[in-house]
């Protein structure tokens, strides 16, 4: 890129490029001492609080809520018992027709109501399945092993859900307990919502919204979706993305039918028709488009990095010219700037010598904000039109959803993600909004008008991030300590009433 950068800088030299730099998200310098959290959290004994959170997280990881089958009532009762220690009542709300599955809702009411809606601290209790035999011996998905990292000397707790997402669910529970213990004056309600079944069918969130919405009243939510990754975009720099948007989905079955027959004589039947349709789908051009959150994150990364890289990343026009090829070359980055089309499986084959009368393929399309599922579906149907016997059935569709990042909750999360990292000796960090390529329960909350932010307050390496849904998932005590500080401070800054306690 450097040669191209130099050539281009010569071309655009001067004011025109400088004028199109992305504006900063929030003030670059914040008077830390003036924040409500600085004053109200002064009595916190952070190391003791971190010890307690780490022990509680270990118990939560040992509570088997692997989904399927889920058994989330177990996890909900564990969180309810932690809240009860500080006198906070929680409702464990069973899902319809299944006493083993439940959501949890607990509320700290505003002491000096300002009329703002509740801040909801959201998590899912269930975790994905794990292949225990692939995990290190003695450090299985439900064993709650605690080890010491050889390199850093830091303690690690192992278990399915350590990152996705029992760590945030537990930290949110601790935040509620600390708000109660410190008897902080609240200007808005704070609600803890821990739901079942996010990893399979979102039955928990669907039920919470359908039957218990009146108990929630959220206008803002903090949920999973973003985290800090060391060296994600620039070597030696942590880039911390707070998820403000999630791509939509269009899931379809492409079906081909024809006369069944003998495999010995190749004549065009259902399988050949399906292949022709899939050839067209594979060659279907999907132009790139950069969501504003990505420009903003790149600008923050560039500002921190400085130099030529910084100059380019802070300017959307130069990103389009110089950095987009790199994005498109890398699958994870490419998914952030295109409507993706992924053929994910097949059905219908019988025996090698039997041509079936029907075969089909599943196609998973993920759509950027601004791309309507109906428009893509119409385009897809037109693409395969004219191939005899081929049809497209919709399995599910949902448009992308986004929340604005010019918002006090976003700013508080961004500030404390950065401040807590710097206080912990992590000098190089850039924080910005990000679009998530997959979706979480936040997509359902955003449909109800809630501003949702994906913020798991941990900083991990790429390898550690890959343990989510993979093998050997773990989280360090340092992350738990820093995460508690970041989350509690951010929550206090957005919910504390103006008067101080005495
Ligand atoms: Zn998750």
Three-state DSSP class for residue 143? coil
Determine the distance separating the centroid of ligand 1 and the alpha carbon of 181, expressed in angstroms. Answer: 29
User: CB neighbours (10 Å) of residue 442?
Assistant: 29
Digit-coded pLDDT (tens) for 444-492: 999 999 999 999 999 999 999 999 999 999 999 999 999 999 999 999 9
Determine the distance separating the centroid of ligand 1 and the alpha carbon of 302, expressed in angstroms. Answer: 29
Query: DSSP state, 65?
Result: -
Determine the distance separating the centroid of ligand 1 and the alpha carbon of 502, expressed in angstroms. Answer: 39
Domain 246-398 part of CATH 3.30.70.360: yes
Determine the distance separating the centroid of ligand 1 and the alpha carbon of 124, expressed in angstroms. Answer: 7
> Crossing angle of helices 72-84/46-62, nearest 10°?
150
Q: Tokens for 310? A: 């910084």
| Residue-level pLDDT at 170 | 98
Q: Report residues of the chain scoring pLDDT below 70.
A: 1-19, 24-27, 500-502
Determine the distance separating the centroid of ligand 1 and the alpha carbon of 165, expressed in angstroms. Answer: 5
* CA nearest to 366, candidates 401, 339, 396, 326: 339
Determine the distance separating the centroid of ligand 1 and the alpha carbon of 289, expressed in angstroms. Answer: 26
What class is the 32-244+401-495 domain? alpha beta
Determine the distance separating the centroid of ligand 1 and the alpha carbon of 464, expressed in angstroms. Answer: 15
d(CA 368, CA 414): 23
Determine the distance separating the centroid of ligand 1 and the alpha carbon of 199, expressed in angstroms. Answer: 6
| Residue-level pLDDT at 29 | 74
CA dihedral 328, 330, 336, 338 (to 10 degrees): 40
d(CA 149, CA 397): 44
| Residue-level pLDDT at 22 | 75
| Residue-level pLDDT at 17 | 45
CA dihedral 488, 489, 494, 497 (to 10 degrees): 90
| Residue-level pLDDT at 13 | 44
- Give the global pTM: 0.92
For the chain, where do the domains classified as CATH 3.30.70.360 start and end? 246-398
Determine the distance separating the centroid of ligand 1 and the alpha carbon of 436, expressed in angstroms. Answer: 12
Cα of 1 vs its chain's centroid, Å? 30
Q: Tokens for 491? A: 């929550």
Cα→Cα distances 224→106, 124, 244, 331, Å: 18, 9, 11, 22
Burial class (CB within 10 angstroms; exposed 0-12, middle 13-18, buried 19+) of 266: exposed
User: CB neighbours (10 Å) of residue 357?
Assistant: 16
| Residue-level pLDDT at 167 | 98
* CA nearest to 395, candidates 348, 345, 357, 461: 345
| Residue-level pLDDT at 501 | 47
| Residue-level pLDDT at 30 | 80
| Residue-level pLDDT at 502 | 45
For the chain, where do the domains classified as CATH 3.40.630.10 start and end? 32-244+401-495
């Amino acid at each position: 890129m450097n040669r191209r950068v130099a050539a281009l800088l010569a071309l655009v030299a001067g004011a025109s490029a400088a004028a199109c730099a992305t504006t900063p998200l929030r003030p670059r310098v914040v008077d830390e001492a003036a924040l409500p959290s600085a004053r109200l959290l002064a009595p916190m004994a952070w190391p003791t609080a971190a010890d307690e959170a780490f022990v509680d997280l270990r118990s939560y990881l040992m509570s088997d809520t692997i989904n399927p089958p889920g058994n989330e009532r177990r996890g909900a009762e564990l969180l309810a018992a932690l809240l009860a220690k500080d006198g906070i009542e929680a409702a464990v709300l069973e899902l319809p027709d299944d006493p083993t599955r439940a959501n949890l809702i607990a509320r700290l009411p505003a002491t000096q109501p300002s009329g703002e809606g509740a801040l909801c601290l959201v998590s899912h209790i269930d975790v994905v399945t794990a292949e225990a035999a692939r995990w290190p011996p003695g450090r299985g998905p439900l064993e709650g092993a605690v080890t010491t990292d050889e390199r850093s000397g830091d303690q690690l707790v192992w278990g399915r859900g350590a990152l996705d997402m029992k760590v945030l669910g537990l930290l949110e529970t601790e935040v509620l307990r600390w708000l109660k213990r410190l008897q902080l004056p609240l200007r808005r309600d704070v609600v803890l919502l821990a739901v079942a079944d996010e990893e399979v069918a979102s039955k928990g969130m669907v039920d919470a919204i359908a039957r218990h919405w009146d108990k929630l009243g959220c206008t803002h939510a903090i949920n999973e979706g973003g985290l800090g990754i060391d060296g994600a975009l620039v070597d030696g720099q942590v880039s911390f993305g707070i998820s403000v948007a999630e791509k939509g989905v269009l899931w379809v079955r492409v079906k081909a039918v024809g006369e069944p027959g003998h495999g010995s004589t190749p004549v065009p039947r259902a399988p050949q028709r399906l292949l022709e349709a899939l050839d067209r789908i594979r060659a279907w051009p999907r132009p790139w488009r950069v969501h504003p959150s990505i420009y903003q994150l790149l600008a923050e990364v560039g500002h921190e990095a400085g130099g030529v890289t910084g100059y380019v990343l802070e300017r959307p026009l130069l990103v389009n010219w110089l950095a987009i090829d790199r994005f498109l070359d890398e699958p994870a980055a490419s998914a952030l700037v295109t409507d993706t089309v992924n053929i994910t499986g097949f059905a219908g084959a019988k025996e090698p010598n039997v041509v079936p009368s029907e075969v089909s393929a599943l196609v998973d399309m993920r759509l950027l904000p601004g791309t309507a599922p109906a428009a893509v579906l119409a385009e897809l149907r037109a693409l395969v039109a004219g191939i005899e016997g081929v049809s497209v059935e919709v399995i599910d569709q949902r448009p992308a959803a986004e929340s604005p990042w010019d918002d006090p909750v976003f700013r508080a999360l961004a500030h404390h993600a950065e401040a807590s990292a710097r206080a912990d000796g992590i000098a190089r960090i850039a924080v910005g909004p990000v679009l998530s390529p997959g979706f979480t329960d936040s997509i359902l909350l955003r449909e109800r008008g809630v501003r949702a932010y994906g913020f798991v307050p941990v900083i991990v390496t790429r390898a550690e991030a890959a343990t989510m849904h993979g093998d050997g998932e773990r989280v360090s005590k340092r992350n738990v300590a820093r995460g508690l500080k970041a989350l509690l401070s951010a929550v206090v800054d957005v919910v504390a009433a103006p008067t101080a306690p005495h």
